[in-house]
Amino acid sequence: MKCITDCKIIEILNLSDEQLIELSRKNVLSLSLEEMKTVQNYFKKLKRNPTDVEIETLAQTWSEHCKHKTLTGIIEYTEEKNSKKTRRIYNNLLKETIFKAAVELNKKWCLSVFKDNAGVIEFDSENGIAFKVETHNHPSALEPYGGSATGIGGVIRDILGVGLGAKPLANTDVFCFGDPDTEYSKVPEGMHHPKRIAKGVVSGVRDYGNRMGIPTVNGTVCFDDGYMANPLVYCGTMGIIPKDKIEKKVNSGDLILVVGGRAGRDGIHGATFSSVQLDQESDVSAVQIGNPIIEKKVLDTLIKARDLNLYRSVTDCGAGGLSSAVGELGKKTGAVVYLDRVPLKYDGLCPWEIWISEAQERMVFAVPPENKEKIVEIFERENVEAVFIGEFTADGKLTLIYEGDVVTNIDMEFLHNGVPKPTRPALCKIKEEKIQKPVEMSSSEISEALKASLSDLNVCSKEWIVRQYDHEVQGQTVIKPFQGNNVEVSGPGDAAIIFPYTVVRGTKKGIVLSNGINPQYGKINTYKMAASAIEEALRNAVAVGADIEKMSLLDNFCWGNPDEPEILGSLVRAANACYDMSKSFDVPFISGKDSLHNEYSIGGKKYSIPPALLISAMGVIENAANTFTMPLKNDGDKVFVLGTTRNELGGSVLAKIKNIKYGIVPDVHPQESKDIMKRIYRAASENLIEACHDCSEGGLVVAISEMAFAAGKGVKIDIDAVKTGKIKSQETELTAAEILFSESNGRFVVEVKPGNEARFGEILEDAVFAEIGCVNSDKGIVFESEKNKIKIQEAPEVLLNYWRSTINW
Amino acid sequence: MFEIEIRTKKGFKNSHGEHVLSDISGIGIKGITEVEYFPLYVIDGGITSAEVGTIALELLSDKITETYICRYKEQSVGKSLKTESSAGIDVSETAACADSAILPHSAFFVIEVWYKKGVTDTVSESVIKAVKDLGIEKEIKVKTGHKYYLYGKVSQAVLNDIATKLLANTLVQEYVAQ
């Protein structure tokens, strides 16, 4: 291969181990020594040194971001419990847990699982629905606005790039930030203040989502000091796709068409960068800037071209740019690309920069030669740039040509399957959780704790954030983020429902979207955190009327440095929880993503984030009219609690407020809670439910207060009537405070009309449930326990005010 | 090269400025009593001042709530950051002002924020396209920026704090505060 000016030959054949490491570090390749040696050996066989384009292509393709080396690599896992050790080897953690459950459950309505840019399930006989959630943590830490905007832009393109392209119907967003009230002097040097990050991230998502004309319908915001230097930004998109457009393929001879934005220096090394710990000198060019107007035009034209069957395959240009997109499409055939044909924002880009640029808003198509003119015409009509840059071959090689010179010529097989599997040790020491000392609180202390819980950052209204998003555009959102009497009086909805009547004419069906996440539990027990997140996501969906038998899940792991055995060990535990819960709830995972290395070092000290697993759920509801919201509806209606309340205050809001030591983290009892979920659905189809709310952060007292103040109504609750259960046999009975604030999973608060009470009881039959009070606006919100001599009485508008005033930036 | 500053007319809220003011007090800085925010556009190329007027009026400003100031500068867009004192808003002879009544009152600081060279500026891309759509068929370069007028009394160090902590992300933007 001859050397030309713009393309360098990288001396690698004769480098020592130290020099290889140095080369990887210096060029931000993020390749380990073993990987560098594998590259070295490959080029030794070819008897030549690689070009910089080849090295960069390998680094991108083998990056943690694209290959998920940790979760698909070998893990030697050791679990220590009561000083007994058990060992297990995972050859591919993902395949042996989350994916395995999906395979074993083998649902016929799962149309595309873990193989495309998003998971797809059946909507009706003609259509499928696709869902994907991505993270954009590192870019958002550096440039909150651009980072989050390109995060949402990227996941929308995932939906455009699933099968032959799905039409996006809704976005979801979940964030984890540091405490916004942190003193400025305590923010690490070189980092933005958590409030600035939060505001920037919110406006990025707002501007991109709103300009794309896609409603943002569901999300959560968690606050914890652990995310100060490393925020988590999860962006999700759901879309609809005709069933006959789900399969894609590439034939030799198909032309490679790149559509949308131009390549620039933005986002160079995004994929490899995501595996690097953040430090003060993070690379400037890793920042990406989004342009929603271009993406909107790409969306519209892509759907038009799809419906005319003008292409055989499509994928998005995400991390790794063209390198990843073309590499992915041409995996089985081979490809030749002329880099000088790629449209550029400005001159002066080297060939390797053109190839890996992460400039946004680009899609890559495989176009049969006979459609060449027709497809370009569609894009040009809307002023969308579309340029043919090469073709798919039959030689199984990736060939890149720049101004007549071959700058890359490597085997697709080596590029995609040559990465050595790393072996990492993982360790988990399981500590027994202890029940705290009985929490005895007087009536006034409980009142204070209720107000503190409602205004706690993790419970309080996120209205200031959510109302910046358009959740109505497209006119199909039937259950929205806030519910209540009017804008001034509202409460937090559990899940969103989209009724896609403009896309699927005559349909009655709805699509439910919900999520579950709780990093507080993960600080103590990641197994229970994962199980709780899954149960919470499902519970949220059921609380608006979803059918548990038509639900699917997405996993998004955000973890610290997997080179630390204990951090990786806690990840293995969470992945196992995913398998167990998926199997016992009979709900498959359809897609997922992980972001590891969420670690930040400053002054030699390392900050690893508290592990976070976001579970997003999507399901099909047979009749979008049979759904319900959380505010109480009519005076005189009965209030029920479904599910068992246990002494589970570990990681709870009350534990934080009252600084309670110990406490059991809420566990999941799948059989019990699945049974209740099924019965709620049955009651819903008979229209027996007036209001329903899930019970999570803050416990029963918060859930019931939210239902009351969202309606501006009062409610009278008998604490003694709540059904409790024991975790350990020698346990004492729960105190009133423990009943009110325990965060046990699997519980719902349901409002039923007096006339429907008998039928509702028949449906619930032998499930754990109790009538605990009634809607009564005379005396405000009242919680009473005769046994414990407790009475709390608050006006709904007072509690509403506590809930609403925390975040008002 | 022309620099266009889009101003809020008297009697209309400068809501972004108010947000910035609340952010400033939110980070514990006292001494600033009012903030006004105005977007900036620099347009370079063989363009006449009449054409710039059309662009400012028809494209960049809202005729009801906004007006504009347009300055002619010798420098080219290529020089990424203006170093000359533009804080003295003593509108020079070459500046055309649509409404002199809205000139800011005295005792203020100015912070200007611009993208660093090489950072994608999507708004400028849209402006270039929209100028063509207005029927002005000329090859132009556009740069966008932000200008904040801060009223009150603070030290230069505090001013720099406001710029770096709230207004400019120095990773992709640069600023002048004086």
Lowest mean pLDDT among A118-122, A276-280, A614-618: A276-280
At residue A475, the pLDDT reads 93
Distance in Å, alpha carbon of A204 to nearest chain B alpha carbon:
14
Q: How far apart are CA B167 and CA A196, in angstroms?
A: 10
Q: What is the pLDDT of residues A576-597, one digit of tens each?
A: 999 999 999 999 999 999 998 8
Residue A349 predicted with pLDDT over 60 = yes
**In this structure, are strands A612-621 and A551-558 parallel, antiparallel, or unpaired?**
antiparallel
Q: What angle do the packed helices A526-542 and A670-685 form, to 10 degrees? A: 10
Q: Which residues of A touch B26 (CB under 8 A)?
A: 195, 809
Mean pLDDT of A398-402: 95
Nearest-CA neighbor of A746 among A535, A547, A581, A552?
A: A535
Residue A401 predicted with pLDDT over 90 = yes
- Mutation target for A interface from B171, B173, B174: give the one with most A CBs within 10 A: B171
Q: Which residues of B touch A144 (CB under 8 A)?
A: 169
The rounded percent of chain B whose pLDDT value lies above 90 is 56
Say yes or no for a CB contact (<8 Å) between A184 and B165: yes
- Searching chain A, which residue's CA lies closest to the CA of residue B19? A809
Distance in Å, alpha carbon of A319 to nearest chain B alpha carbon:
17
* CATH entry 3.40.50.980 includes domain B2-177: no
Count of structural domains, chain A:
1
Distance in Å, alpha carbon of A163 to nearest chain B alpha carbon:
30
The rounded percent of chain A whose pLDDT value lies above 70 is 97
At residue A274, the pLDDT reads 57
A499 inside domain: yes
Q: Which residues of B touch A149 (CB under 8 A)?
A: none
At residue B106, the pLDDT reads 57
Mean pLDDT of A619-641: 95
Cβ contacts below 8 Å, chain A against chain B, sum to: 44
Say yes or no for a CB contact (<8 Å) between B171 and A266: no
Mean pLDDT of A503-522: 96
Distance in Å, alpha carbon of B176 to nearest chain A alpha carbon:
19
Nearest-CA neighbor of A239 among A179, A161, A321?
A: A161
**Which is higher by pLDDT, B115 or A302?**
A302
At residue A272, the pLDDT reads 61
Say yes or no for a CB contact (<8 Å) between B172 and A287: yes
A686 inside domain: yes
Q: Which residues of B touch A346 (CB under 8 A)?
A: 118
Q: Which residues of B touch A345 (CB under 8 A)?
A: 120
In A359-507 the beta strands, taken as DSSP E runs, fall at: 362-367, 386-392, 397-402, 405-411, 423-430, 477-479, 482-483, 491-492, 496-498
Q: Please, are residues B162 and B111 in contact by the beta-carbon 8 Å criterion? A: yes
Q: How far apart are CA A801 and CA A808, in angstroms?
A: 12
pLDDT band, residue A556 (cuts 50/70/90): very high
Q: How far apart are CA B22 and CA A181, in angstroms?
A: 14
Q: What share of chain A is helix, strand, coil (3-state, %, to 5)?
A: 35, 25, 40
The rounded percent of chain A whose pLDDT value lies above 90 is 80
Q: Which residues of B touch A184 (CB under 8 A)?
A: 27-28, 165
- Mutation target for A interface from B15, B115, B122, B160: give the one with most A CBs within 10 A: B122
A764 inside domain: yes
**In this structure, are strands A119-122 and A110-112 parallel, antiparallel, or unpaired?**
antiparallel
At residue A210, the pLDDT reads 93
Nearest-CA neighbor of A496 among A629, A642, A406?
A: A629
Distance in Å, alpha carbon of B24 to nearest chain A alpha carbon:
11
Residue B77 predicted with pLDDT over 80 = no
Distance in Å, alpha carbon of A203 to nearest chain B alpha carbon:
13
Say yes or no for a CB contact (<8 Å) between A359 and B120: yes
Residue A1 predicted with pLDDT over 80 = no
Q: Which residues of A touch B165 (CB under 8 A)?
A: 184, 193, 196
Mean pLDDT of A454-477: 94
Residue A205 predicted with pLDDT over 50 = yes
Q: Please, are residues A624 and A475 in contact by the beta-carbon 8 Å criterion? A: no
pLDDT band, residue B83 (cuts 50/70/90): very low
β partners of residue A400: A337, A408
Mean pLDDT of A202-225: 95
At residue A676, the pLDDT reads 97
Say yes or no for a CB contact (<8 Å) between A809 and B166: no
Say yes or no for a CB contact (<8 Å) between B119 and A809: no
Highest mean pLDDT among A69-83, A300-314, A340-354, B118-132: A300-314
Mean pLDDT of A490-519: 95
Q: How far apart are CA A122 and CA A241, in angstroms?
A: 10
Mean pLDDT of chain A: 92
Nearest-CA neighbor of B116 among B167, B170, B162, B166?
A: B170
Residue B91 predicted with pLDDT over 70 = no
**In this structure, are strands A216-223 and A167-177 parallel, antiparallel, or unpaired?**
parallel
Task: Point out the residue among B26, B120, B169 whose CB comes nearest to the CB of A345.
Answer: B120
Nearest-CA neighbor of A137 among A608, A767, A558?
A: A558
Nearest-CA neighbor of B112 among B55, B56, B161, B173?
A: B173
Q: Please, are residues B114 and B121 in contact by the beta-carbon 8 Å criterion? A: no
Number of C-beta neighbours around residue A304 at 10 A = 15
Nearest-CA neighbor of B115 among B141, B88, B136?
A: B141
Q: What is the pLDDT of residues A406-433, one digit of tens each?
A: 999 999 999 998 999 889 999 999 988 9
Positions of A marked active-site: 65, 136
Task: Point out the residue among A144, A196, A266 whose CB comes nearest to the CB of B120.
Answer: A266
Residue B84 predicted with pLDDT over 70 = no
- Searching chain A, which residue's CA lies closest to the CA of residue B173? A143
At residue B67, the pLDDT reads 93
Nearest-CA neighbor of A398 among A344, A322, A340?
A: A322
Residue A76 predicted with pLDDT over 90 = yes
Domain CATH for A523: 3.90.650.10
The one-character DSSP state at A739 is H
Say yes or no for a CB contact (<8 Å) between A143 and B169: yes
Mean pLDDT of B133-148: 92
Q: Using beta carbons and an 8 Å cutoff, which residues of B are at the interface with A?
A: 22, 26-28, 116, 118-122, 125-126, 165-166, 169, 171-172
The pTM assigned to this predicted structure is: 0.91
A175 inside domain: no
Mean pLDDT of A696-723: 96
Q: How far apart are CA A318 and CA A324, in angstroms?
A: 8
Residue A779 predicted with pLDDT over 70 = yes
A786 inside domain: yes
At residue B178, the pLDDT reads 84
pLDDT band, residue B93 (cuts 50/70/90): very low
Q: What is the pLDDT of residues A780-791, one digit of tens each?
A: 999 999 999 999
Q: Which residues of B touch A146 (CB under 8 A)?
A: 172
Lowest mean pLDDT among A298-302, A323-327, A756-760, B73-77: B73-77
Q: How far apart are CA A75 and CA A723, in angstroms?
A: 43
